[in-house]
Every structure is written in structure tokens, then in C-alpha cells.
Structure 1
């Protein structure tokens, strides 16, 4: 069948599929590592799901132009998480910021990881990082926000999958049980700038750091 006759959905699947196969081929040749078929398929499906959610956001008539941090119940704290990923070096950095109902920073942290297989693994680790940091600070009623829909949907889903982030999903769900209240929700990128800045800061410093009731100056400016 001629490519021009293929429906738009299949055309959209072609590029990430070729990309994933090429990446898998390079790992085999240069690192002698074989990726299982289900890992490659899971990556492609996850990428397409994330791309689809971003497309819907971009097509929104008012694309979160006025989105910002929203206050919450005095008994709750909000955990915002984000991750950065460098595919060539397979390095990742996760950022976490915890704030109270008035928006005051209660804790901030970034961690670096290597090697990692995908950006979705990095985003899942960011959620784990956020929960562990909140437990270390003895918070018991939390709302976690991430700007990666596929990871949030995976946490909220009652079904299991065979993707490479499945072990992290299981760990996140188990950690959530250690809180009195623990909720997960998606937030647009524009509302997640502080966590995003922390993740970027981790790449610059290449160390694991945390702050109590403080953060790096450039991050405080955003907060």
C-alpha cells in the first residue's frame, strides 16, 4: 500500500516507531544490549499517548494562558514533580518542590540518574522521588502533580501493564498507602515551572541536593 493512502493515525505512528527501532538497533550494536519487543512497543505507545495529550492541550481554545499554582486545603501540601531526560547519554534529572496552602516552599530537591531507558522512566522516578521526599519531611496529606499524563494515568489505573515503568508504578502505589491522604493529578507544564527548573538545575550540578524551606535563587524567583 502507498504511504499516501495510509490513514493519518498510522502515519503518526510511523516516525516514533522508526525512531524506537533505530534506538534499539544502536543499543545492540554499540552497547551489546538487546531490548525486548514489548519494551519497544510500550515506548512507542506511551510516546504516542503523550503526544496525543499534548496535541489536545495545544488545540485548546484557551491553552492554560492564566494557569498558575493553586491554593489548597490547609491540611494538605502539594508536591510538584518533573524530570529532564537526555536520550544520547541516557541521563535524567528529577525535580521536586513541596509547598503549603499559602504557596510557601516547604522543601525542594533534585536528583540525577544514569543510565535510564526513556523519558517515561524519568517521569515515574520523579513521582517516586517526590513521595519519598515528602515522607522524609513527615508530611501525611499530599497532592502530587505532574505534567506527564501517561504517568499520572498509569498511577491511577487499576490495571497493570508490561511496560518498563511498571515496577515504578507498583512502588508509587505502595508508597501512597503510607500517607493518610494521597492524591495524584495532571497539571499543565505552565503550572509546573518550579519543578521543571529544579530538574534542569540538577543537570547543571550533576549531584543530588535538597533544601528545607528554601530553594536555589533562580527557582525561588519562579516560585
Structure 2
């Protein structure tokens, strides 16, 4: 069985054959775990887009009801350096940017871990802003589902999920939603702009140019939707 599994994964990742020979079993195991995490995320995302997870999935950014603040999050993972960038943008019921941040992280295992670390950072960001009524949105379905489920999580990210749930208790009201990437454009632009950040960066009532442009586009869509 182990041999068949090894050959199956190697058939999916031909480059792993050289790694297994030259770098040993540890590198090979890393390839398997990364593949499984990516596969799970892909299947969850497909289910959501097919409407099998319950409520319809949000496909564009929507303003939160007053007085709530919506915080969207996204991450960028660098496998070569085992690092990641966490980005978050908080906007009010008018679509105006209240604050934004980009935080670098070291010793991040993979993109799966990077996304849950970023979700935790978004909640911490909301807490640091002294918000009490918050909506957290991200486009990584697996993370959102693990936060919303009541049962104990046994995955590699379980300790971070526990931390997020503890932080969530600090708010008067907080909810977590999965959205399509189209509804996460502004923070996606922010994380793209801040890939090279070496220190935490914060902005208040503004954001870097690409992120601001995307947020303005979201605001215009809000206006047209109500015309």
C-alpha cells in the first residue's frame, strides 16, 4: 500500500521523484501533505460553488449593516522561504475603508496554515481596532467551515482555530463567512501590493493604491445595486 501511494503521488508530482532520491523522505512527506491540503480545499470550494453547502455563496462585496464593520482577509504564501503575508481591510456600511493591515509571518508550513493564520490576524486586527460588531470574510472555505463547526477540530490547524474562537468571544457580535474571490478583490489587491513587506504595516481610513481602487470599485457597485 505504501509503495502504491508513493507511486501515485509521484505520478502527480514527477519532480518529487528527484526530491525523494536526493532530499529524502521528509521532502516527500511534505509533498503529500501539501497535495492533500490543496485537494481538500479544492473539493470544498467546488461544493460551495455548486450550492451544496447551504446558503448561496456571496459573489461580490456587500456592505455590512450599520453599525457593523466588515473585515475581509487574504494571504500570500511563499513556499521557498516558508513565510506568508496576512492582509485585512475593514470597511463600514458605506463601503469606506476604516483601516487596513499587512503582517509578515515566518515559519509558515503551507498555504493552508497561512490562510488560517491570516484569519486569526484579521480577528486580532478587529480587536485592536476596538470593534464590537464584526463580520469576517475570506475566500478559503475550509478555514471558515472549521471555525463555524461546533465539533472539536483534529487537523493540523486545530490550535489556531481554538485561538480564533477564543478571540471571537471578545466581541459583542462576530460572524464568519466564506465569499468567492470576486467579493475579496480589495484585500487580494492589498496582499499583492505588500508581498515584500518585512515589518507590520497599518493604514487608517486609507489603503495602498491598488487596494483603494478595488474598494472604490466595490462602492460603485453598491450604488448601482440600489439604483
Q: Which residue of 2 aligns with 1:122?
A: 114
Q: 1:51 aligns with which of 31, 34, 42?
A: 42
Query: Aligned equivalents of 1:85 and 1:198: distance in 2?
Result: 14
Q: Which residue of 1 aligns with 2:65?
A: 73
Q: CA deviation at 1:89?
A: 2.1
Q: CA deviation at 1:44?
A: 4.5
Q: TM-score, normalised by structure 1?
A: 0.77
Q: CA deviation at 1:197?
A: 1.5
Query: Aligned equivalents of 1:212 and 1:47: distance in 2?
Result: 34
Residue 142 (structure 1) aligned with residue 151 (structure 2): no
Q: Which residue of 1 aligns with 2:81?
A: 89
Encode CA deviations 1:166-206: one digit per residue, 9 max, x unaligned. Answer: 11101000000000001001000111011112222221333
Structure 2 CA distance for partners of 1:42 and 1:165, relative to 1, 3 Å = farther
8 Å contact kept, 1:42–1:164: no
Query: Aligned equivalents of 1:205 and 1:89: distance in 2?
Result: 14
Structure 2 CA distance for partners of 1:82 and 1:98, relative to 1, 3 Å = same
Q: CA deviation at 1:55?
A: 3.5
Query: Aligned equivalents of 2:109 and 2:44: distance in 1?
Result: 22
8 Å contact kept, 1:95–1:197: no
Structure 2 CA distance for partners of 1:45 and 1:156, relative to 1, 3 Å = farther
Q: CA deviation at 1:86?
A: 1.7
Q: Which residue of 2 aligns with 1:108?
A: 100
Encode CA deviations 1:123-149: one digit per residue, 9 max, x unaligned. Answer: 011111111111111100101001000
Q: TM-score, normalised by structure 2?
A: 0.76
8 Å contact kept, 1:16–1:47: no
Query: Aligned equivalents of 1:204 and 1:156: distance in 2?
Result: 32
Structure 2 CA distance for partners of 1:88 and 1:18, relative to 1, 3 Å = farther
Structure 2 CA distance for partners of 1:158 and 1:18, relative to 1, 3 Å = farther
8 Å contact kept, 1:43–1:163: no
